Amino acid sequence: MSISPAIIDEIAVLNQFNLDSMQAGIKVHAHAASPGLVDAAGRLFAKGLVTQADGGYLTNLGLDAARHAQSLLMILKG
Over the chain, what is the mean pLDDT?
95
Residue 78: the pLDDT is: 87
pTM here is 0.93
Q: 65 pLDDT exceeds 90?
A: yes
Q: How many domains does the chain have?
A: 1
- Report pLDDT digits (tens) over 24-37: 899 999 898 899 99
CA distances (Å), origin 9, targets 21, 23, 41: 22, 23, 9
Residue 23 has pLDDT above 90, yes or no: no
Which residues make beta-bridge pairs with 52?
A: 55
Q: In the structure, what pLDDT confidence band is assigned to residue 60 with cuts at 50, 70 and 90? A: very high
Pairing of strands 26-27, 55-58: antiparallel
The angle formed by the CA atoms of residues 68, 51 and 61, to the nearest 5 degrees, is 30
Domain span at residue 38 reads 5-77
* pLDDT value of position 11: 97
What is the model's pLDDT at position 22?
A: 79
